[in-house]
Structure 1
Amino acid sequence: MKIYVMVDIEGISGVYCSEQVTPASGRFAEGRKYMTEDINACVAGLRDAGVDEIIVHDCHGGSYSLNWADVSPEADGYICGTIGDSRYVDIDDCDGLILLGYHAMAGTAGAVLEHTYSSKRIQNMYINDVLVGETAVDAAIAGEHGVPVIMVSGDDKLCAEAKRFLPDVVTAQVKKGLSTQGAVLLPPEKAHRLIHDKAMEAVKKLPLIKPYVIPAPITHKIELMERCQLPNAAGKPYMNVIDGRAYSVAADSVEEARMRSGG
């Protein structure tokens, strides 16, 4: 069995404010440390559940958040840095996907560091007229490769959002969101034990979880925060500028739609 672990930072246990996730901040090292510890707890749980191969992918920002010297030797590989246009690397032969340290979609009340891909650019994102966040989109892309999301971790709002789209997914709630910049955190040992145990549970439940697939054709709409952020639609017959702050793209898959959207 091979499991792919996609890791963001805003939903990591111990993370509750922007300074912990921003590279220019003096507290970024703190966020990186917590992220690495959650990864190690997840990897340990997967190994204890009998998983043969584990791939971990840092997907936060430019993918340079891992403390490489401190990651678990029990994983088989760590994906970092620029990987091209694809969301995943060689995910087709994986049996399951874990979304570790994820956050709620932009605009979610009381959610820690809520946003959808870009906190500075994207106001709202839709797939076939349904408001979505990163969890649903990343699950749909994996689903197009035949891979189900078996577990997510993050705050209570993220876990509730995941259940709306992925009713069978295992959730690890490592904190309760109070605001964009505040949370009630579990103690480190409890958070790490929860992640470990939920990873084991997810592996046992994997045969019952199906990939999340959004039927084609796909219409992907993005509402922007500023007018100046609209892409140039010239020479792109698949792109439709709706108004001064919104546009959409047409595609045959969610993965293709994300590539075409440029954001």
Structure 2
Amino acid sequence: MAIKVLISVDMEGIAGIVHPAETNPERYEYERGRRLMTAAANAVVEGVIDAEPTAEVLVADSHGPYRNILPEELDRRARLIRGKPRELGMMAGLQAGAQVAMFVGYHARAGASSAVLAHTMADAILDVRINDRSHGEIGVNTLLAGSYGVPVVLASGDAAACEEFSALVPHAVTVPVKRGLGQHAADSLHPEEAADRLRQAATDAMRRYDDHPPVVASGPLHVEVDVHQPRTVDIAALMPGVVTSGRTIVFDTESMAAAYGMLQLIVMLTQLAP
């Protein structure tokens, strides 16, 4: 039976990208960002197919509106998951039976040092803690994959993002495509050089994906979310099962899927708060 691989692709960790003007659909350099993101996704698809010619590859567009990758330019051997809102957000495809996951173009969590465009799910979120451990999107998505029994075998982004991933999944394949010099500055590989490294890394990761077991958070899960706007806390307090304190939203749940759904709702609430 062909293996099913989920490639979750964000934009901030793509080689050459350093500024919101390149990641925001309303800004002038966004079209360049889309092309760079699509090319990076293609490189990883190619690497997966090099190792597993019969693999079924799902590419989840996982940045902002989830409508960034250019469908007509994506490798035709992959299926594209795009649009939002959707179940499991950045990791949509896990519920379709994915057996291996990869992160492409990821960024470090909010507050990380020497990190490019660092944040956690939304600029208005300051921190997410699951069972008292701070996580960015890398950690949350790794734990979500683990709850489905799926290992994350590759991560690419800036050096800070790769280090964040390696702390969770030691010895897994990482591809640092740039080194942060500030929130909006980096020393980056040429996009074509980054693509070559991504393709080879994806091949290497597929050839030894059994070496890395899923990372699982033992339940029950205690989740705390620090947010920037007090109004977000006021709105969240109306949700069943939520406790609030100062700028922190707190809830307990038995599953990562449920925790992830709540986190997506909190992100939406931050967008309502003025």
Using the size of structure 2 for normalisation, the TM-score is 0.91
In structure 2, what is the Cα distance between the partners aligned to 1:222 and 1:232? 11
CA distance in structure 1 between the partners assigned to 2:223 and 2:138 by the alignment: 15
Instruction: Look up the match of 1:180.
Output: 183
What 5-or-longer segments of structure 1 have no aligned partner? Answer: none
The residue aligned with 2:213 is 210
Q: Is the 8 A contact 1:105 1:114 kept in 2?
A: yes
Q: Could you tell me which of 90, 95, 103 is aligned with 1:99?
A: 103
Alpha-carbon distance in structure 2 between the residues aligned to 1:82 and 1:165: 28
Paired with 2:172 and 2:150, the residues of 1 have a C-alpha distance of 13
One-letter identity of the residue aligned with 2:252: A
Residue identity opposite 1:101 in structure 2 = G
Query: 2:172 is matched with which residue?
Result: 169
Matched, 1:196 2:199: yes
Partners of 2:37 and 2:69 within 8 A in 1: yes
Divergent runs of 4+, >6 A = none
Instruction: Report what 1:20 is aligned to.
Output: 22
1:64 to 54, 64, 67: 67
How many residue pairs align between the two structures? 259
Following TM superposition, by how much is the alpha carbon of 1:234 offset from its aligned partner in structure 2, in angstroms?
A: 3.3
| Aligned counterpart in structure 1 of residue 34 of structure 2, from 18, 29, 32 | 32
Take 1:202 and 1:194, find their aligned partners in 2: how far apart are those partners?
A: 12
Shift of 1:235: 5.6
Instruction: Structure 2 unaligned segments of length 5 or more: list them.
Output: 267-274
Question: Percent of aligned pairs with the same residue?
Answer: 29
Deviates more, 1:251-260 or 1:201-210: 251-260
Given that residues 151 and 202 in structure 1 are in contact (C-alpha distance below 8 angstroms), is that contact kept between their aligned partners in structure 2?
yes
Quote the RMSD (CA, aligned, Å).
Answer: 1.3
Q: Distance in 1 between matches of 2:261 and 2:165?
A: 23
Report the CA distance shift for 1:192/1:232 in structure 2 as closer, same or farther (over 3 A).
closer
- The answer to whether the Cα contact below 8 Å between 2:13 and 2:157 also exists between their aligned partners in 1 is yes
Which one of the candidate residues 149, 156, 172 is aligned to 1:146? 149
Find the residue that maps to 1:101 and give its secondary structure: strand
Partner of 2:49: 47
Contact 1:45 1:195 in 2 (8 A): yes
If the length of structure 1 is used for normalisation, what is the TM-score? 0.95
Name the structure with the higher helix share: 2
Check whether the contact 2:6–2:93 (CA below 8 A) recurs between aligned residues.
no
Partner of 1:254: 256
